Structure 1
Amino acid sequence: MLVAAAVCPCPPLLVPDVAAGAAPELDAARAACTDALGVLAASRPDLLVVVGPAEQSGRGRHPQGARGSFRGFGVDLDVRLGGAKPASGTGEPLASGVSERELPPSLAVAAWLLERTGWSDAPIEGLGVGEPLAAERCIQVGEEIVAQAERVALLVMGDASACRTLKAPGYLDERAEGFDAEVARALGTADVAALKALDADLAYELKASGRAPWQVLAGAAEGAGLGGALLYDDVPYGVGYLVAAWS
């Protein structure tokens, strides 16, 4: 059963070493992420699953202790998902080669957030999901996740549209503001039906990387009766960044 969820954006710029001189611009977003992770810790889960968008090489499951890196962004910084601990549920060190597959950037950002807040409350595993994953499959994945343990928490990584301004990565798209507003409303009110109904084609056109992870959350949260709170909603760099907590 899902007992709590935190929704956070996943730009590597959340990591101050990556943002460098621009780091203060996302201080409020980092603070909101910390608050959201506090809700996860307070829920005392048996298992934390981190879900984030991933390219082909990063899709699928990533065990506790899997390594991520920000070297591709010009920073000599490595992280591990939940620290260098045994794989979830095994009680044994990771087998040789298990953690060699690097975390996708979204899960590396999540690992950094968890290290920053000193997460040690429950076993962790990661799941990278592809942008094209159909809504029905996302929902099914969410249902499968919450069947893994009696008390499951989710850390859901993903950005809203990247088309909010002329200088945004996707340039300005007039549809982006309305799309982001609906996502913010759904996340802030734990509206599972609204998340399930998100238009995957529109999300793709607006470069919203969070669509599939949000729909995994919707599948996991069905029937859980959680309430939501929107902790952050802004568009730095023309990209929609949202932070929410469900409990």
Structure 2
Amino acid sequence: MRILMIEDNESVSEMMKIFFMNEKWDVEFKNDGKEGLDAFLENPKSWDIITLDLNLPSMDGIAICQEIRKVSRDVPIIMLSARDSESDQVIGLELGADDYVTKPFSPLTLIARIKALYRRSERVEVMEEAPRLHKTYDVETNHVKMNISTREAYVDGQLIEGLTLKEFDLLLTLAGKPKQVFSREQLLELVWDYQYYGDERTVDAHIKKLRKKMETIGPSIIHTVWGIGYKFDDSGVVEE
């Protein structure tokens, strides 16, 4: 695995370097925001994971995340920050980060998050390379069709533009079992592939983004089940 860690705190970098070496991962460290972005842009397809601090000299993590997503929708991004406000986390996730870890954190927790995102991205690559066997869609409901091979999802025949890796997987999980209610903890385990750490805002932020993209072209079909989680149900929606 090749990781780009954009982090200006030298003690954090030195600490993580030890754990990365134990995993035998190839990691490049950048302590300046602009330098980190430049390192990514030199060869965007070479990185498997990016860890991105929110507060950086020359260019902050929010701006870097936006620039990375202009180039790559799929490279997994874990945002790190000493700030623990809900707005910071939601903004980071809404701009395309796949996960958010608050400092101070356990190195083993970060390692687990990285492994989970990497396993997920590997499974996506395998599915995309698998033969289609004349199958056009993997999921078909009244209003939604999804193709895992092409990573495309449609509402009433119209492509949902700009779906990220996690947004697609989240919709695939919900639409694959219409009307089933998923708790936030279940979605964290199924979509993010790690045990529940108490950060439900990761799920909420991605649901918000997914709904926004879907509802620009079709009906509201991802429903909040108050006190529990979310479900997909388009059975009662009538086409106009």
Normalising by the residue count of structure 1, what TM-score does the alignment of the two structures yield?
A: 0.27
Which has the bigger relative contact order, CA under 8 A and spacing at least 6? 1
Normalising by the residue count of structure 2, what TM-score does the alignment of the two structures yield?
A: 0.28
